[in-house]
Amino acid sequence: MPGLRSTGTRSSMSESPLALTVGIGGRRWRVGSEQYDLSIPLAFDGAQPAFFGVAPAHGSVVRAGSFVGDVREGGSCNCATYVLTPHCNGTHTECLGHITQDRISVHEICASALHLALLVTVDPVPASATTESSDPRPDAGDMLVTKQALQDAAGRFAEAPFNALVVRTRPNDEAKRARDYSLEPAAFFSAEAMHWIVAAGIEHLITDLPSLDRADDGGRLTAHRIFWNMRSGHTTPTSAARTHATVTELAYVPNEIPDGLYLLNLQVAPFVADAAPSRPILSPLTPL
């Protein structure tokens, strides 16, 4: 992000061997040694999250002539073919190419990995309990992440120059790591919430939800379109489109990580595709 720079300096023997500071928005911060991995490990032969009824990610042993890619079967090494759907099988980062005819690649978009991120925790509310909405209109029992909830959670950090936002939703339990969202429909973002996120200058949004939008929304993808500034039904980006913005979905943020400001290292697999498996890592920041 603009204005982000770092300096690595050797410290005394009583401190960690490498002290990292960053300059962001005219302020200096010390980066903590802790690293919080927000990705859900993808177990090709085990439990994993599932969304949109897509088949689980899976692997198969490579077999070619006398070669068997499994040491347990007498092979010389392990070698497997893995099949996955990044949008539905685990933590992934996606770009504008998700909704365009142009094959825009997330690999091209994620040129910069380090960002100042704000982590907030919110409680989705029933659509019947708020005036906020989306398109199509939510059912009364649908759960929404609202602008009001985001504003309240982010209020005391409003002056910080963060350009990434991590949204943790409650309830927040370990079952999220392997939830089947076809059986347990997820909350999603209201249109008002997404307009607030864009107005706040958020370029990189990370959420523990499987999608910004309701799974069955008639193909409107309202929240995605607001985030990338793409008009309804349009598949060709204009000059006003937020081409460098990314969305990371199906993350998991453990409860022990407190809300606040962090250095985000957004690691994305270099797939030439609209989405790719990713590993967002947070490191705590202390102002100097």
Digit-coded pLDDT (tens) for 34-52: 999 999 999 999 999 999 9
Read off the amino acid at residue 16.
S
Point out the least confidently predicted range of 12-26, 128-142, 143-157, 255-269.
Answer: 12-26
C-alpha 150/C-alpha 20 separation (Å) is 30
Give the domain ranges of the chain. Answer: 36-42+90-287
Q: What pLDDT sits at residue 136? A: 96
Specify the DSSP element, H or E, that contains 225. Answer: helix 222-228
Q: What are the pLDDT digits (tens) for 161-209? A: 999 999 999 999 999 999 999 999 999 999 999 999 999 999 999 999 9
The answer to whether the beta carbons of residues 155 and 212 sit under 8 Å apart is no
Give the whole-angstrom CA distance, residue 221 versus residue 211: 9
Separation between Cα atoms, residue 28 and residue 188, nearest integer Å: 35
**What average pLDDT does the chain have?**
93
Distance CA 139, CA 120 (A): 26
| pLDDT score at 8 | 39
104, 90, 59: which is closest to 277 by C-alpha?
Answer: 90
CB 119 within 8 Å of CB 257? yes
Beta partners for 83? 58
Average pLDDT of span 139-153: 97
64-94: per-residue pLDDT in tens?
Answer: 999 999 999 999 999 999 999 999 999 999 9
Mean pLDDT within 275-288: 96
Q: Where residue 14 falls among pLDDT bands split at 50, 70, 90? A: very low
pLDDT in tens, 225-235: 999 999 999 99
pLDDT score, position 13: 31
Pairing of strands 275-287, 92-94: antiparallel
> By the 8 A CB rule, do 165 and 205 touch?
yes
How far is Cα 277 from Cα 187, in angstroms, rounded to an integer?
22
Give how far the C-alpha of residue 23 lies from the chain's centroid of Cα atoms, to the nearest Å: 24
Integer-rounded Cα Rg, in Å, for the chain is 20
Q: How confident is the model at residue 3 (pLDDT cuts 50, 70, 90)?
A: very low
Task: State how far the alpha carbon of 230 is from the alpha carbons of 6, 154, 184, 254, 276, in Å.
Answer: 34, 26, 29, 33, 21
Between strands 114-122 and 164-169, the pairing is: parallel
- Token pair 């985030």 is at which residue? 227
- Cα 90 to Cα 71: distance, rounded to the nearest angstrom: 27
Q: Which residues pair with 168 in a beta bridge?
A: 121
> What's the CA gap between 278 and 106, in Å, rounded?
11
* SS3 state of residue 211: coil
Token pair belonging to 152: 């309240």
Structure-token pair, residue 214: 């309701």
Q: CATH: 3.30.70.360, 3.30.420.40, 3.30.1360.20, 3.50.30.50. Which one for 36-42+90-287?
A: 3.50.30.50
pLDDT at position 7 over 50: no
